Structure 1
Amino acid sequence: MDTSKPILFYDIASGPPATCFAPNPWKTRYALNFKGVNYQTEWVELPDVTGVRKRLGAPPNRTHRDGSAFYTLPVIHDLSTGDIVGDSLEIAQYLDKTYPDGPSLFPHGSTVSHDAKGLNILVDTLFTQHVVLFIHGMPLNPATAKASKATFCERAGVDDWEKLTVRGEERAKVLNSFKQALGNLADLYKKNTEGPFLEGATPSYADLIVGAWLSFAKATSKEWEDIQTWHNGIFGKLHQALEKYAEIN
């Protein structure tokens, strides 16, 4: 295998300038940097995601509420092997299998790594249930913002962009609900006092899942400064500890 060839990593563009903000691509970016593999980012405008994914031959891994195909990112195209993988968890598993040298995303004997899929669903659900706190803060490209907003409305099953946010007292209620929900996740981190990761000083893919959503919150939420202090600063410390894996190539 010619490892001099990069992995092409397809990520949703913000901006300009283009940078990473979406949670699922963040999971893959963290994983690529953690593994130390050679990769380069291919930025994709949100309205172009479906076309790019179809062109790559990456089947949809989700469906809309009406059962139709839901095309999203990340996708990787490994030029060294020719493999194309289009799901964040499957990408992480692929990286560990194909590039076994270096740190493992799913270390043997790790309790949390054993059920990474379950944790992924848990964390995705927690943040998605409170996503109205974040959507209007997404750094959309002005040139494609109208089409991007329409895409998000379609995904959410609403007909008006304004229905995808909350303000005033309602926002305070949702924010309090989010804080309480994060408390349950914080309890998992409190089990290991060595921290800042779930199993001590070394991260696993489980931590990258949480970190990805925290990076999304930082990029989109005006309450981020408060969020990172909640629950004795557990999530602020986690986000800071993952900064070394946040490089954008």
Structure 2
Amino acid sequence: MESDFVPKASSPEGLVLYDVAFRPPYASNACAPNPWKARYALNFKNVPYSTHWVQMHQIKEARQSLGVPPGRQFADGTDFYTLPMLSGPGITTIGDSFDIAAFLEEKFPGEGAGDLFPDQELPYKCPIVMEVLVPLSERPEGSHAAYARFNTEVDTAFSLHAQLMGQGMVWDPKYEADIKAEFVRRVGAESWEAMGVYGEARTKVFGALKDTVKDLAEMFQKDTSGPFLLGEVPSYADVIVGGWLRMCSRTLPGEEWKDVEGWYDGVFGRLHWALQRRFGDVK
């Protein structure tokens, strides 16, 4: 595994997943939700690949070097460069986690754990209507439309409470000051510490997150034969939620993460650990 960005078109393993480098050891601290969605999907399909770690301040360079547009924009129209990306022999580099999953299903149908996108109802809708600071991907109606809508709703639910997780992100000490300064610039905050939420205010935001995912948890309670939405059968819908649970597990204070694991009869804890055991290898 490599620590700094160098353009890399392929590897002996074939596909290359570009992920955000947090503090070393990268594999243990990796927690960006969308790269984890891509990693879970790759492991779901049992496809050989390797991880290429990109420092936060090098993401723009990485995407531009591989000819991948930013994909999203902030409200002021400035470009938002993010990961994951997937590159490999004979494919155009893909720069969105949902597109990566769709590519894997098309390229490797029936392989690994089966269908990433089995038919199922995914009615969850985030109950809060509010603009999200970090822009989310907008997808046209097309294949896997129900999953795309579910992805947007779940991303919205967790993104609206992301300030709970921000202070728990740990960075490579060599780049920490620059990375924190970039986050402060993006949100227009006075300082890194000012971006956090503390005390009674934090308790309220944490409770709001629990309320926001109540209907989501109820979906996992319908089939109790296993930890997934379809009981014993995993799908990309589980991966969508799982990417955020990985983020929570690495960034929330220990007691808060323990609470999340236990919410609503423990559905999120069971899902997280099932995904980690089956599809959580960092390659």
Q: Flag structure 2 segments of 5+ consecutive residues without an equivalent.
A: 1-10, 123-143
Q: TM-score, normalised by structure 2?
A: 0.83
Counterpart in the other structure of 1:67? 77
Task: Find 2:172's aligned residue among 133, 136, 141.
Answer: 141
Return the letter of the residue paired with 2:109: P
Separation in 1, partners of 2:72, 2:16 = 22
Distance 1:41 1:4, change over 3 A: closer
Task: Find 1:104's aligned residue among 111, 115, 119.
Answer: 115
Counterpart in the other structure of 1:248? 282
The alpha-carbon deviation at position 114 of structure 1 amounts to 5.0
For the residue of structure 1 that corresponds to 2:26, the secondary structure is coil
Task: Find 1:94's aligned residue among 80, 103, 109.
Answer: 103
Separation in 1, partners of 2:13, 2:279 = 21
Counterpart in the other structure of 2:258? 225
Separation in 2, partners of 1:151, 1:240 = 33
The alpha-carbon deviation at position 184 of structure 1 amounts to 1.8
Q: TM-score, normalised by structure 1?
A: 0.94
CA deviation profile, 1:139-168 (whole Å, cap 9, x unmatched): 211111111112222333434212321111
**Most deviating of 92-101 and 50-59:** 92-101
Aligned partners of 2:13 and 2:50 also within 8 Å: no
Q: How many residue pairs align between the two structures? A: 245
Task: Find 1:118's aligned residue among 136, 149, 163.
Answer: 149
Separation in 1, partners of 2:56, 2:218 = 35
The alpha-carbon deviation at position 6 of structure 1 amounts to 1.1
For the residue of structure 2 that corresponds to 1:228, the secondary structure is helix
Separation in 2, partners of 1:5, 1:24 = 21
Are 1:234 and 2:236 counterparts? Answer: no
Separation in 1, partners of 2:263, 2:161 = 16
The alpha-carbon deviation at position 5 of structure 1 amounts to 5.0
Return the letter of the residue paired with 1:143: K
Return the letter of the residue paired with 2:91: G
Are 1:84 and 2:93 counterparts? Answer: yes
Separation in 2, partners of 1:185, 1:46 = 31
Q: Which has the higher contact order (CA 8 A, sep 6+)?
A: 1
Return the letter of the residue paired with 1:10: Y
Return the letter of the residue paired with 1:185: L
**Most deviating of 193-202 and 234-243:** 193-202
Task: Find 2:205's aligned residue among 159, 174, 184.
Answer: 174
The alpha-carbon deviation at position 4 of structure 1 amounts to 7.0
Aligned partners of 1:13 and 1:43 also within 8 Å: yes
CA deviation profile, 1:27-83 (whole Å, cap 9, x unmatched): 00100100100100000000011001100001111112211111100000022x232
Task: Find 2:18's aligned residue among 5, 10, 22.
Answer: 10
Seq. identity, %: 41
Q: Flag structure 1 segments of 5+ consecutive residues without an equivalent.
A: none
Q: Which has a greater percent of helix?
A: 1
The alpha-carbon deviation at position 116 of structure 1 amounts to 0.8
For the residue of structure 2 that corresponds to 1:166, the secondary structure is coil
Task: Find 1:38's aligned residue among 27, 48, 55.
Answer: 48
Aligned partners of 1:6 and 1:38 also within 8 Å: yes
Are 1:203 and 2:234 counterparts? Answer: yes
